[in-house]
Structure 1
Amino acid sequence: MNFLSLNVRGLGGDVKARWIQDIKVKYGINFIALQESKCVLGSSMGLRSIWGGNSFGAEWVDSSGLSGGIICLWDPGILDCVDVVKDKNYLIIKGRLKGSGKKINIANVYGPQDYQNKKSLWERLSLEMAGSEGLWCLLGDFNEVRYPEEKRNASFSHRCASLFNDFIFNGGLLEYSMKDRSFTWQSSNGNKLSKIDRVLVCSEFFGLWPDACLRALPKRFSDHCPLILVSKESNFGPKPFRIFDSWIGREGFDEAVRSAASSFVFDGPADLHLLYKFEAIRNSVKKWRNLMIKKEGEKEALVREELEEL
C-alpha cells in the first residue's frame, strides 16, 4: 500500500481538495489519513472531491467545534475494511490486504498537546495494539518529537519525549528514514520547526517492505508537510532507459521503437535532442508494453476459463 498523511488545518475548498487529489494520483496513494479536518461530516459525499471518484472507503471522527477531526479514505480494491475504532485522538481502520489476505491495522493519529493527555493516548493505543492481530501502521500528527534535534527554536520536553519513546519501544515500532526534509511543521513566521508528523510501523510491516520510501513533500495549503509512504516501487523521477531481451522480436516492439524515433522532432542543442528522443522512445515502448500485458492478460484469463470448464 501507499499512504498519504497530512494535517490539513481544515478541509478548505476545492483548491485544497485538488491538491490532495493530485498527490494521490502522482504517487499512487491507496490510503489517505487527514488530521484536523475541523468539520462535522454527515456522509462521505463531501469527500469525493478529495479522492477523485465514487469508489472509495471512508470513515471519520467529527471535530469538536473547530478543533480536531480525523478522516481516513482508502481504495476498497486494495483494503477490505472489517472493523473501525474511533477515538477523539485516533481513528483505526482494521482490515485485510486483498491478494495476500494479511490482516492490517492502520491508525490515523492526532496527538494532544499536554503531558497527561499524551500519556493517556499512548496507553490507549498500546492497549489497541496488544489486542489486535496483524500488521500495524500508525501515521499522522503525533504532536511530539523524539529527540532535541527534531526541534528548532522551540523548547524540548525530555519528559514528553521519553514517554513517546517508551511507547514506540514497548510497542515494537520502527520508523523509516524520512527523505527530502528534516522537519514536517513550520510556524507562520518560519522561525520554529518541528518533526511532529511521522509514520510508525511494526517489525513485520518493516520486514515485508524494508525498502519502502518515506518522503516529506513541500507544504502548500497547510503549515504541515504531506508525508507519503510508498511501500511499492513508484516513479519519483527519470529512470534509466532500459529494455528486456525478451521484448526484442516480439510483435509490435520493433515498430514502436522505429515509429517513435522517426517521428521525433526537436529543435535545440544536440545533448537535449538525444535526451528527449530517448524519452520519446521510452514512452512509446511503455505504451507497447502495457498493451502487450493487457493482451496477454486477456489470453491468460480465457485459458483459465477454459481450464475451469474442463
Structure 2
Amino acid sequence: MRSLCEGPWVVGGNFNIIRYPAKRSNCPRINGAMTEFSECIDELELIDPLLFGGSYTWRRGEGHQTASRIDRFLYSSQWEEQFTFIKQSTMPKLGSDHNPILLTCGNLNFKKSYFKFENWWMRVEGFKEEVKLWWQSFVITGTQSFVLAEKLKLLKGKMKEWSKNNRNNCKAQKEEIMEELAKWEAVQEQRVLTEEEIQQKNKFGYHL
C-alpha cells in the first residue's frame, strides 16, 4: 500500500496489536508481534504520536478487566510537515468497546468548499418540514433534469443557511454531553461503575 502512495499520507484504525507491555493491562513483557509491529512502523518511516485523553482505546467487560491501546493513527514525516499542529486524542465510547480516536491537524485551507449532509440535522424538530417547504417554493422551468439540478442547488443553499443558524445550539448541547461522558470515562479509569452509574452514563450516549 505504501508503494502506491505519493506525498503526505496517514493511516488509522484498529491494528489489534500494541507496541509496548505498558499499553495492555496485565502484560508482563514484550513479545515477537510487538517487535514486528514496531519494526514495520520504522521501516515505513511513520510517526506514532502520543495519545492524549487516556492510556487505552479498547476495554472488555463491565469491570474493564482487559484493556489495551490497539487503535492509533500513524503518519509520514511529510504529513507532519504539512500541518502546524497535530494531536491524537481519545473520545468517549458510544456503544462500542473502542474509544473513537480523533486526529486534529490544525487549520486546513480548502481551495473549494463542499456540501456535506450532517446527521444532526435529522434530529432537529421541524427540519424535514422545512426541507419540504423549501423544495415546493422553488419555481424553475426547463427540462426535468435541469429543474432537478437547479432545485438541488437552491436546496443546498437553504440547508447551509439553516445549518449555520442552528449549529451553535446543537454544538453547545453536544459539547455538554461529551463533557459528561468524558467525566464518566475518567471515573471508569479508576474503578468499576455501579449499575446506576452505568445507566446514567448511557443516558448521555443516547442523545448523540
TM-score (norm 2): 0.48
Bigger fraction of residues in strand? 1
Higher relative contact order (CA 8 A, sep 6+): 2
Q: TM-score, normalised on structure 1?
A: 0.33
